Amino acid sequence: MKFTTRELVTMAVFGALWGLVEISLGSVFHAIDLPLSGMALSIIGVMVASIGRLFVPKRGSTIFIGVIAMILKLFSIGSAVIGPMIGIFAEALIAELILDVFGKPSILAFIFACMGASLWTLVQPFVTGLLLSGATCWSSGSTCWTWARASSAFPIKPPFGLCWFWSSFTCSSADSAAGLPGNLVWC
């Protein structure tokens, strides 16, 4: 799809905003060891991209915004972080696909885009573990499960724990995407 110069500049501005959020808040969240920081950054980033999609309601605009944010993530303090860069691109791709299904921009489309992109944070350890470090899916999965049990306030059993883990993140992202106050964990 062809974009005008004005649309390209608009997408670049929103991509820069997403990249700035990833670099600044990502560093702060990492420094204070905030749990679920990737999900929070995912939701905030896709919210920025969704607002950019309002200004440029064409196919490919969300991916373009994500690519700009991904390129800016190269300039993070320390070193180039490949895992978050893959995450940013995947989140932009998922959001683009969901927004394309809805067609016209709407609040419901943006909520589903934020939810879908935030769910990537559950899949990312498997993908990046397999691609980058050659880890098997089992070791990545057991690492995620150990982390989930450690970050929860109560001991969880495998079947119930997985349902709680999945639903709490989905409801949290929907709550955040809708701009509602508070944090809906039990839905």
pLDDT in tens, 97-126: 999 999 888 899 999 999 999 888 888 877
With CA atoms as reference, report the closest residue to 99 among 87, 86, 111: 111
Q: How many angstroms separate the CA atoms of 17 and 30, rounded?
A: 19
Residue 165 has pLDDT above 60, yes or no: no
**In this prediction, what percent of the chain has a pLDDT beyond 70?**
69
Question: Residue ranges of the alpha helices (H) in 103-136?
Answer: 107-132
Q: How confident is the model at residue 139 (pLDDT cuts 50, 70, 90)?
A: low
DSSP type of residue 75: T
Is the whole-model pTM more than 0.85?
no
Residue 20 to residue 42: CA distance in whole angstroms: 13
What sign does the CA torsion over 96, 99, 105, 107 have? Answer: negative
- State yes or no: pLDDT of 88 exceeds 50: yes
CA–CA distance, 83 with 101 (Å, rounded to integer): 27
For 91-126, b/e burial (b = at least 16 CB within 10 A) is bbbbbbebbeeeeebeeebbbbbbbbbbbbbbebbb
Quickly count: other Cβ atoms within 10 Å of residue 4's Cβ: 10
Does the pLDDT of residue 12 top 50, yes or no? Answer: yes
pLDDT digits (tens, 9 = 90+) for 25-53: 988 888 888 888 888 999 999 999 999 99
In three-state secondary structure terms, 35 is coil
Higher pLDDT, 43 or 146: 43
How does residue 172 score in pLDDT terms, banded at 50, 70 and 90? very low
- Give the tokens for residue 6: 């004005």
Is residue 162 over pLDDT 80? no
Q: Which of 88, 121, 113, 94 minimizes the C-alpha distance to 21? A: 88
Structure token digits, residue 50: 């969704």
